[in-house]
Amino acid sequence: MTTSSSTDWMNHPELRRLVDDANRLTLAERVTLIKGLIPSIADDQTPEQFAAFMEELRQKGNRFNEAKAHPGEGRATRSVPGEREIENR
């Protein structure tokens, strides 16, 4: 989960508990959960914001796959930009 100052107000322990609980579900259940959340997320955003959110999810997956393919090499050796680079932190 993010450590951005823009999320300091969030209840991180509760979010972590929800994530941990969701991660105990099967893959099909986790995918269904995400699909179930999408309509309310899209409804609370403009189409442009939702498109940016979907791109953020795609990049998150790409960063994870790149890190998994190069264990122990650290962020400096990766080509997919991370949240810190994108947000200039």
Q: How confident is the model at residue 84 (pLDDT cuts 50, 70, 90)?
A: low
pLDDT per position as a tens digit, 37-55? 999 999 999 999 999 999 9
Mean of pLDDT over the chain: 86
Q: Nearest CA to 42 among 52, 28, 27, 32?
A: 52
Question: How much is the average pLDDT of 29-41?
Answer: 97
Report CA torsion sign: 19, 25, 27, 31: negative
Over residues 60-81, the pLDDT tens digits come to 999 889 888 888 887 777 666 6
Q: How far is 2 from 26, CA to CA, in rounded Å?
A: 24
> Sorting pLDDT into bands at 50, 70 and 90, what band is 6?
confident
